Every structure is written in C-alpha cells, then in structure tokens.
Structure 1
Amino acid sequence: MAAADTIRDHALSLPGAWPDEPWEGDLVAKVGPAAKGRIFAFLGARSVGVKAGATREEADEWLARYPHDAAVMAYIGRSGWNTLTIGGAIPLDELLEAVEDSYETVVAKLPRKHRPVP
C-alpha cells in the first residue's frame, strides 16, 4: 500500500472522521456533523496538510526539522497549518502522528455535542 493510501486510511479511521471533496479533486478528512464538520487533514497523493500547531510558531518547528519537506500552507498557514511531503525525509510514522495531532486539535475546538465518542 502506498504511503498516501496509508495516511488517508488512517485519517478516515479516526472516530467520527469522514471524507469530503469540497473543491473538485481535493480530498479532505473532516470530523463533526455534516453541516458543521471541520477539516483536519488535506489528503493529497504527494502531501498531507495538517494543523501542525496551535500557533504559527509551534507549526514552524516542522519547518525547522524538515526544511525541504514541510511548508506553510497557502491561505491558512498563518493559523498553524502546514503541508508535509509524503515520501520525503519525514518518516511515515511521524506523518501519521501529525494527522492524529491535527485531528485532536480540531476535535478539541468542536462544541462538546459535536465531538465524536471514541
């Protein structure tokens, strides 16, 4: 199984996670009810976009560790979102952990009534 498939399957296996394609050709993983679901991962073939930190400064730790394989996401990067390259220097287990951390951060921001029960 390709790393991108592993990441996608892992993201969608998290409690309450579901796939969506809000922009043609762009698969994302969301959590929460359909009308109020929140994206926690942008699932690409060559990269995964995640909420990498509560602040831009926290998310910048990825950039320092993996300068060639981590980048600030366009448009939402100022809010702590990064794009992490799949198949580069970042080990698969760290990519999977980044997806889990992003999920947990997004779930924590959901109203209690919309949070999935693990």
Structure 2
Amino acid sequence: MSPEELRTFCLSFNDAVEEFPFTPELSVFKVAGKVFALTALDSRPLTVNLKCDPDLAVQLRAAHPEIVPGWHMNKRHWNTVTADGALPERQLKELIEDSYDLVVAGLPRAQRLRLDRA
C-alpha cells in the first residue's frame, strides 16, 4: 500500500479527518476527535499505528513479524503495522477498519447513531 493509498483509505470512513497535532510529518487520522490511525506517510518503510482488541493484538503479533506493539502508544491496545507488502493489503485494510470500528464503538450513543446515518 502506498502512502497516498493509506491516506485515501483512512479518509474514506464516515467523519474521518486527517490532522497534524504533533508535527507536520505525522498524520493523525481521527473520527469524532478520537485517533484511529497514526503514520508518518513519508517514512520508509511505511508504518501505521492502529488500535486493536488486546487479545487479537497478541495473536496478530505472534503470527506476523510486521505487526509489533504500538510505538509510543499503549502497547496493550495499539499495534504498529509495517505496510511494505509483507502483510496482504486486504488484511491491512481490515486492521485499519477494525481500528476505526473500535474507536466508534467507544463513542457516546448519539455520536455512533450520527455516524451510522452519514
């Protein structure tokens, strides 16, 4: 997945926005003000931090060397995924979507309903 494809996919979700609260190089993708993905789109190899169910995170890390505990994040809830092609693009997209869904699930009911209608 290229950096532009990653950006486009992250922004394809309802109410998703890209912000740069830390540095101009670090893209932070949010929904309803909550982070679901972080990446330095110009880094090589391209990596992305994604929220993950803690039990699944452990399984993914054991099965895939390109998935490690989240860099500068809560290691229990976040993974850093290398997007260099070793992990199939379909699976990477599923991990991004799961991260978005986890964040949305934690939002207040009214916000979740608004996102469902968008």
* Short-chain TM bin: 0.7 to 0.9
Q: For residue 52 of structure 1, report the CA deviation from its aligned partner.
A: 2.1
Matched-pair identity in %: 33
Q: For residue 11 of structure 1, report the CA deviation from its aligned partner.
A: 0.9
Say which of 19, 32, 39 aligns to 2:35.
39
The residue that corresponds to 1:108 in the other structure is: 105
The residue that corresponds to 1:10 in the other structure is: 9
- AA of the residue aligned to 2:35: I
CA contact (8 A) 1:3 1:92 kept: no
Name segments (4+ residues, structure 1) moved above 2 Å. 74-79
What whole-Å deviation, never above 9, does each CA across 1:11-58 have from its counterpart, x for those lacking one? 1110111111110121011001xxxx10001133301110122x2x32
Equivalenced residues, count: 110
The residue that corresponds to 2:86 in the other structure is: 89
Q: For residue 88 of structure 1, report the CA deviation from its aligned partner.
A: 3.7
TM-score, normalization by structure 1: 0.83
CA RMSD of aligned residues (A): 1.6
CA–CA distance in 2 between the matches of 1:96 and 1:89?
A: 13
TM-score, normalization by structure 2: 0.83
Please, which runs of 5 or more residues in structure 2 have no aligned partner? Answer: none
Please, which runs of 5 or more residues in structure 1 have no aligned partner? Answer: none
The residue that corresponds to 1:99 in the other structure is: 96
